[in-house]
Each structure stands twice: as structure tokens, then as C-alpha cells.
Amino acid sequence: MSNNFKLAPSILSADFSDLQSALHICKSGGADWIHVDVMDNQFVPNLTIGPLIVKSLRPKTRKFIDVHMMVINPETLVEPFAKAGADSITFHIEATDDPNSIIDLIKSCGCKVGISLKPKTPLSDILPFLEKVDLVLVMSVEPGFGGQGFIPKSNDRILELKKYLNENCLDRVLIQVDGGIKLHNAKEIMNAGADVLVAGSEVFKADNPIQTIKEFYNLSE
């Protein structure tokens, strides 16, 4: 299990009419990060948050804002999200023919760099870029909608990625996992090598979201 475990509640599952309450939940529960799912209804079949939402959140929280771009032409949105206040920006390997340029652009904007891949994309597709990134986001559902079930084989991918990072002196690169993460399966995912868990509906649809966040952290002790 990672000693650096972080929880990143996804505001995709929060009440969009009261994001202030979502920030309060994250603060009171002790969540490290706030995860922002960006979808363009082209790369994935859903339309969600733009830079203006991040800009509205930034003055209201000191939490690490973690932007996950599920969009085509990610280079067009890097600077707007960076200027809005993102701390980290993750793009999809499937969304570009030139990952190095996206990585360099994100770095030039002063943000941490994440690279993500869909469940059916081979890990080998991202290996050439791991020396330049800060985070790998392993999707454990098909991206597009919240509330999906965790794909069990994702743990094998996490284990394989963790092994590669350790063997290549890249253990500084965080493994983030997003999709179907619940209290009942979180410990197994952490044990596979996840450093950051993204949880949406499990947190914001819970009867007691603050207590649920605390229970995630209790699992990592």
C-alpha cells in the first residue's frame, strides 16, 4: 500500500448548484485533492466542466485542483485551465498524436503533468513518456459518465505499472485511479499500487459524505 495515499473527490458527482458545499465536504473530510472531470462530448459522450468553473473554485479553496481533460485537441484547453487555477492537468494519450508537446505545454504553464489511458489502451502506449510526467491516471471504467462499476482487471494494470515505475527509478510518478472506486474495493486498489483514488458518487451521494472521506483515509492506515 502507498504511504502517500491521497483521495481526490470528483465534483462531477456533486451538486452543481452548490459547489461551495462540495468544497466544504472536501475540507471537513480532509480530502487532499479536488478532481475536476472535463468532457467535451466528442472524446467522450458527455459534456461537463469548463475553465470558468475552475476559476470560480480557485479563490474558495486551497486544495490541490486536479483537472482531468477527456477532450480532443487538449492543447487548446491547457492554458485556459492553467490560468483558471488548476494545479495539475491530465490529458489522454488517445487524444493526441504528439504527447510530448502537450506535456511541455502543461509544464510551461506551471502545472503538474498527468497522462491517462482508457481501459483498453495498452500500457506500452504511455511508457515512453513516463520520465516527463508527474502522474499516470489509470481509468478503471470507460470514461464518460460517473457511477460505473470498477473493471476488476484494472488492478492487474496498476500492479504492472507500479512494477515498471519501481524498476525504472520512476517511483516519484504517482498512480491515480478513477472509476468505480468504493469503500469496499479501495484497499485492494491501494494495495495494487494506487497513490491517488478518485471517488465521485461514493463520496457525494453518501448519506454522510464527510464521514465517507474519513473512512477512505482510515483504510490506508
Q: Which residues are catalytic?
A: 37, 178
Whether 153 and 122 have beta carbons less than 8 Å apart is answered as no
Angle, CA 186 vertex, CA 43 and CA 89 arms, to 5°: 35
At residue 72, the 3 state secondary structure works out as coil
Whether 90 and 67 have beta carbons less than 8 Å apart is answered as yes
Positive or negative CA dihedral for 206, 201, 188, 176? negative
Whether 177 and 194 have beta carbons less than 8 Å apart is answered as yes
**Strand ranges of the sheet holding 64-70, from the earlier edge strand across to the other edge:** 6-9, 196-199, 174-178, 135-139, 112-117, 88-92, 64-70, 33-39
